[in-house]
Amino acid sequence: MRLSDSTQDDLVVPKDRHREALTATGGFAAAMTRSRWVEVARIVIVAIFVFAYAQDRVPVGVLWATVAVGLYPLAKTGLSDLVNEHKIGTEIFVTFATIIALIGGEAVAGAVLMTIILLAEFIADLNTERARASIKGLIGSVPRTARLRDTAGERVVNIDSIRPGDVILVRAGEQIPVDGVVVTGTGAVDEASITGEPTPKDKQLDSTVFAGTILQAGALDVRTERAGQDTTFARIVSLVEQAEASQAPIQRLADRVAAWLIPVVVVFLVIVFIVTRDVRKVVTLMIFTSPAELGLATPMVMIAAIARAARSGVLVKGGIHLEALAQVDTVVFDKTGTLTIGRPKVETITVLDPSYTETDIATLAAAADRRSGHPLAEAVVEHAIAAGITIPEPTTFETVDGRGVAAVVDARSILVGNQRLLTDNAIAIPEHDPAATVAWVAIDGTVVGAIHFADQILPGARDAIAQLRSTGIRRIAMLTGDNAAAANQIAAKLGIDEVIADLLPEHKVDAVRAMQQDGHRVAMVGDGINDAPALATADVGIAMGVGGTQAALEAADIALLTNDLSKIVFARAIARRAYRTIKENLFVGVGVVHVLGITAALLGLIGPVQAAIIHLGPDILVFVNSTKLLHVRIDTGPTSSDLALATATA
């Protein structure tokens, strides 16, 4: 079936075009809505008549009418904030300053002040909207159409008509429009928009794919599991949008400071007027004593930080959790599935009968286990295959529930399982470490070997823990339901010096609370489901590897879309950088500039017009300083190998 060129354009999203589309999303044209063009016209008309009055070309009545037209949106917004949110912002301050200037005989200064502030407000609003649009662009987009295959053949349909069970065809260069499972084909998929991972993932039969990802090579038939607003991508976008709307404690503090600062400012301005009787000076001071910039110091930082984290596969549920992560001093990890892969691996094979070799034991055990679905049996088979062993087919096979397997291989009776399997068959058990995970191998009623298993440590876990320590984390602990011996073995390999083992889920909650009662701010890292009580109790709950898992996405404060502990380090680095940026905004953008402005105004060095121009400075500075989080390099600290090298060199 031949598709039209326009339809092909809807489906195919090469990488360069995808990037261009994202850039365009935050562009000027996209942000310039009809209402903004009306605002531009208003500003231009006001500026023309103010200039004409300054040149004595229009009467004062025209100036008053012009000021009324210009002040209307400012007064409307200011009064709305005052009535509905009990907040006094720049708009209400400028309205009063302009009216006072007109009444006090400074008509030109008041009108120019109003015009400049109108322009400043427009630029700030436009830049904020562009930033929000570019944030959505950073996350990505989903195709509007999909290529559906059913009994009627192959056709392109709107994405809204796709239902679970529908088979969607995806070709190289196209975005995958649904969450689903591959039923035919192979390919390499760029999942950066979901997981933040730059390396394409190979997909084949039964592989899971996500909407919004790009098939770079190959062709796939995908059976739909979720479409539209139910996809992982849509949930991520929704979470980011919700996070943007939430306030961090430092942001709420800024709002409270602004509220109590207003009466102080009013008293200050009244005193200045009583002492100086100078309307120009009062108007100038009103510009620099406006507390509105406090409200700009934090929201843009949080938006930028949350978007940057989302692009890297880290979902932060809001500014409150970002700020909390910046302040934690203790991180506790679950073991299985968090620090370890959760899949056993053969570590060693011990030969207990000299008439057999290690290869003999591995061969016979794998033959007995090859039809079992138990994780330990699968590990034995994987070990034999990796060693290049040809695994024979058992003559008979039987699973012994809770104990192991029994089989006949090459006319020999084979038992592979735990000590209860040996006891049931009246076979003596050799001395061994009771904490170790062991599968005994018995041939014709005699134990000939022991297969020792170990959980596999998650790649990069040791480096991530070392980097967390370098960011100021003073206490790193492991909370696990596993036995102490096995837990301490894993902890020693990872550089974790505190282990609390043999815990039930409720005991993990108690452990977290005990740390909090000791004065620690605790982040708990777990799988997002089994560790939900402890995640909820901690100051910050971080769920690992929850791509596509609705329950885990909703359970945690911060959700990692891949099982990559370095993402926690990155999230911590982003949080600390955001917190530092907010302090910079408050100190430099609000504090220094306004103190200097007030000083200059009191000394009579500047007037209302100059103050209005300078007023643009903090807004621009705060905006630029905040949005740099979208692009600046984030330092995650040294790895364990870097630290080891530094220690060896010292």
- Which amino acid, one-letter code, is at 577? R
Is the pLDDT assigned to residue 220 strictly greater than 80? yes
Assigned fold of 320-340+458-574: Rossmann fold (3.40.50)
Q: Which of 470, 196, 492, 540 is nearest to 335 (CA)?
A: 492
* Residue of 166, 179, 190, 334 with catalytic role: 334
In terms of Cβ atoms closer than 10 Å to its own Cβ (0-12, 13-18, 19+), residue 379 is buried
Residue 291 contacts residue 258 (beta carbons within 8 Å): yes
pLDDT at 258: 59
Tens-place pLDDT, residues 384-432: 999 999 999 999 999 887 789 999 999 999 999 988 899 999 998 888 7
Q: Which of 414, 338, 336 is nearest to 375 (CA)?
A: 336
Ordered by start, the domain boundaries in the chain are: 5-12+143-227, 320-340+458-574, 342-456
- Supply the pTM of this predicted model: 0.68
Give the angle subtended at the CA of 173 by the CAs of 171 and 176, to the nearest 5°. 65
Backbone angles phi, psi at 409, to 5 degrees: -130, 125
Tens-place pLDDT, residues 54-91: 888 888 888 888 888 888 888 888 788 778 877 666 67
Show the beta-strand stretches assigned E in 174-320. Answer: 179-190, 201-203, 208-209, 214-226, 314-316
Residue 284 contacts residue 100 (beta carbons within 8 Å): no
Strand-pairing partners, residue 349, are: 451
Q: Is 497 a catalytic residue?
A: no
- Kindly indicate whether the domain formed by 5-12+143-227 is annotated with CATH number 3.40.250.10: no
Q: Which of 429, 416, 434, 436 is nearest to 361 (CA)?
A: 416
Mean pLDDT, residues 573-577 taken together? 91
Strands 446-457 and 437-443: antiparallel
CATH number for 342-456 (one of 3.30.365.10, 3.40.710.10, 3.40.1110.10, 3.90.226.10): it is: 3.40.1110.10
Strands 412-417 and 167-171: unpaired
Tens-place pLDDT, residues 174-211: 889 999 999 999 999 988 766 666 678 889 998 889 88
| Residue 611 structure tokens | 């103050």
| Residue 275 structure tokens | 């002492």
Nearest-angstrom CA–CA distance, 440 and 454: 15
| Residue 399 structure tokens | 């699973």
Nearest-angstrom CA–CA distance, 287 and 277: 17
pLDDT at 467: 92
| Count of CB atoms situated within 10 Å of the CB of 142 | 21
Q: DSSP per residue over 19-78, as a string?
A: HHHHHHHTSHHHH--HHHHHHHHHHHHHHHHHHHHHTT-S-HHHHHHHHHHHHHHHHHHH
- Which amino acid, one-letter code, is at 206? D
Eight-class DSSP state of 140:
-
**Of the ranges 3-7, 134-138, 359-363, 425-429, which one carries the lowest mean pLDDT score?**
3-7
Backbone angles phi, psi at 441, to 5 degrees: -115, 115
pLDDT at 520: 94
pLDDT at 19: 39
Nearest-angstrom CA–CA distance, 405 and 539: 46
pLDDT at 18: 40
